[in-house]
Structure 1
């Protein structure tokens, strides 16, 4: 995806550069004596051509800066936000150029824009609030593209943060009992973040959240044996998935086992372990696949609910 963006930026840089050169040539061709019969239209054409040249240069520079941003080792969410800001600034500068073309001077343009903005402020309160919330998101970094979040009952992975709304790929939802993606896209206005609590399950500083999986066992089971099996399954999977973590960082995310009595009068052995938000279901399955064969192979030490008592 990153390589594709670089190629697209390169293509647009070339297009805008060629367009600027062509328009510059047209601007100077308008000074030729052969066009003297068009004296009445020449000033307008010159100003129009100059405006297009400036707009081409603005977008060319924005693509160059975007190419530089894509070449840096930014987080995906940070890169996305930077590119959005660059695009927004280029659009604003282009609008200023267009307004200057339509009016005789910048003072008149500013006055007109101010009056126009005041009218729009009353008519478009909701979109303007969402746009302000987007600016808040950029600086506050409440969530980034790729994060798993929950807001007002919606939970999913952020795939787009536009100027007015946010799109997430829903996980869990009405038809699933786990954290797998449901396939549905949820869009909500950015203004929602100014009124609702946001839960962010992801982030570079805290890459893991804690999850737990219970197993029902009999009171006569060997609790130490059960604890050792569950801990080993969790630790082995963690080491395999994150070999790059040194022992000190790994110690900060050690799993734990505790026991409790459930409502059916059986004991529960609960393994609590760290997991990346997008891997909750997969990690639980891997731990169970590793632990259950060992537990089942020792029926004298571990007894599970069975028959009518299950």
Structure 2
């Protein structure tokens, strides 16, 4: 649909330009006795409006052509970012061109835009701040289309980044839990990026997150056996994917000033409480599949523990 509209814009721009020139040359409206528009003869006013329309149409067509060439072969994320940038640039050119045609004072238009822009800055602080934040998002890339993020308490998958707002496909929220989509769409002003904490789950070129699974066992449990069982189950289920993710994680860390030892296998941390011992399995996984991975690991670990009741005991009572 965009292709026919883009080509049609050029055709209509040429037609509007020719019509404007024709009206100025023949003045067909002069004989109709039409009143002047703001002190301007009707033929001149019609020619000016047609020329302004030609500027808008030509700019739209140029935006289409440049966008088509610039985004050819680019990823979905990159195409979205380029199209937004080009829309803003060609929109500014169209506005400047239309004002120049209507006033016929190009230098005056530039000066007026500077004065008006200074006044508008105070009247539209939040929208302008969101526009500045859009430039920041485009250049620094704290998140991109498809990333799972949390912005000012709103968590979801980024589905669109416009000049003023970021649109999220909500995760969790007040309707569901366990990192599941709620089906709702949340719109967050881009200005929040400059004033709030931004959490990107699996972003910055590393599509994994560390996750934990907690299992409560009694003090009578053979902790060494329980820990090795949990690590073995995680090793069998996660397999080579986690090993590859660990290597990727280490490479990313080596590019920073952070010095951190990273275990090659899943690990288990022991937390003591008054009534039981909590074993926390730590592993690396993709954020979107984290819930399914946790559920599968939990079921497999419980099956292993239940097959060894002489070595693993669970806390008694319902106060867990």
Q: CA deviation at 1:103?
A: 0.9
Larger displacement relative to structure 2 (282-291 or 173-182): 173-182
Q: Aligned partners of 1:153, 1:243: CA distance in 2, in Å?
A: 29
Please state whether the residue corresponding to 1:160 is helix, strand or coil.
strand
1:20/1:53 contact within 8 Å kept: yes
2:234/2:266 contact within 8 Å kept: no
User: In the alignment, what sits opposite 1:207?
Assistant: 207
**Which string of whole-angstrom CA distances, capped at 9 and with x for unpartnered residues, describes residues 49-86 of structure 1?**
33322322221121223334543233x44332221111
Q: CA deviation at 1:195?
A: 2.1
Say what the alpha-carbon RMSD is for the aligned residues. 3.3
Larger displacement relative to structure 2 (62-71 or 113-122): 62-71
**Which string of whole-angstrom CA distances, capped at 9 and with x for unpartnered residues, describes residues 236-255 of structure 1?**
44348x59959954997844
1:255/1:272 contact within 8 Å kept: no
Q: Aligned partners of 2:157, 2:110: CA distance in 1, in Å?
A: 41
- Residues 238-249 of structure 1: pairs in structure 2 closer than 5 A: 238-239=238-239, 242=241, 245=244, 248-249=247-248
Correspondent of 2:13 among 20, 24, 29: 20
1:9/1:66 contact within 8 Å kept: no
Please state whether the residue corresponding to 1:179 is helix, strand or coil.
coil
Number of equivalent positions: 301
1:11 aligns with 2:11: no
Larger displacement relative to structure 2 (132-141 or 36-45): 36-45
1:202/1:277 contact within 8 Å kept: yes
Q: Aligned partners of 1:136, 1:247: CA distance in 2, in Å?
A: 30
User: In the alignment, what sits opposite 1:153?
Assistant: 153
Please state whether the residue corresponding to 2:143 is helix, strand or coil.
coil
User: In the alignment, what sits opposite 1:60?
Assistant: 61
User: In the alignment, what sits opposite 2:287?
Assistant: 277
User: In the alignment, what sits opposite 1:268?
Assistant: 278
User: In the alignment, what sits opposite 2:258?
Assistant: none
User: In the alignment, what sits opposite 2:125?
Assistant: 125
1:287 aligns with 2:297: yes
4+ residue stretches of structure 1 with deviation over 6 A?
Answer: 250-253
Could you list the runs of 5+ residues in structure 1 that have no partner in the other structure? 1-7
Q: Aligned partners of 1:262, 1:246: CA distance in 2, in Å?
A: 30
Q: CA deviation at 1:221?
A: 3.3
Q: CA deviation at 1:265?
A: 2.7
Q: CA deviation at 1:99?
A: 0.6
Q: Aligned partners of 2:4, 2:312: CA distance in 1, in Å?
A: 65
1:253/1:274 contact within 8 Å kept: no
Q: Aligned partners of 1:69, 1:98: CA distance in 2, in Å?
A: 25
Q: CA deviation at 1:17?
A: 3.2
Please state whether the residue corresponding to 1:20 is helix, strand or coil.
helix
Q: Aligned partners of 1:117, 1:250: CA distance in 2, in Å?
A: 46
Change (3 A) 1:21 1:237: farther
Could you list the runs of 5+ residues in structure 2 that have no partner in the other structure? 33-40, 251-261
Change (3 A) 1:232 1:260: closer
User: In the alignment, what sits opposite 1:219?
Assistant: 219
1:167/1:186 contact within 8 Å kept: yes
